Amino acid sequence: MSESSFDVIREQYAATNRRDFAHVMDLYADDVVLRVPRMEGLQNPGTYEGKEAVGEWFGDWFRTFAHDYRFEIQELRELNAGLIILFATHGGSGRLSGVEVQGQNAYLYRVRDGKIAEVGFFGTSDDALEAAALPEWSGAETD
């Protein structure tokens, strides 16, 4: 795994925190896959394929929060076969309610040819590590 894969992911979070969503979308592969499980705090669970579908899902999610919503990467490391686990805290206020919200999640990423090819959300690092062994995560190509 090249350090550049970690840099792509870090840049995605930095651009998200700047609300530079056009740049975020430039970091995704055209055939990116997003996996959203049924879990508290995540709307519209399912698998989304392609930049347009993934961008729409993230757009819907971010529209529920005010511009103060931010992410902070706590851990970023390679697991196997180019699969990357990330643990982040996030928080800010609701766009309409103004209520402060905070959370922490684990994510699995795969970067291919300098672009984010796969992303998955998980409640905990243990959940992400368990999922990493599943066929949908263990067999994809890497850069």
CATH number where 48 lies = 3.10.450.50
How many structural domains compose the chain?
Answer: 1
Its pTM stands at 0.89
Q: How confident is the model at residue 88 (pLDDT cuts 50, 70, 90)?
A: very high
Cβ atoms of 90 and 69 within 8 Å: the answer is yes
Spatial separation of the C-alpha atoms in residues 143 and 60, rounded to whole Å: 30
Name 15's Cβ contacts closer than 8 Å, sequence gap at least 6: 21, 23, 24, 27
Q: Is residue 143 part of a domain?
A: no
Of 38-42, 80-84, 94-98, where does the model show the most confidence? Answer: 94-98
Q: Is residue 141 part of a domain?
A: no
Name 40's Cβ contacts closer than 8 Å, sequence gap at least 6: none
Q: Is residue 60 part of a domain?
A: yes
The residue segments making up the domain with residue 118 are 3-136
Q: Does pLDDT of 42 surpass 80?
A: no
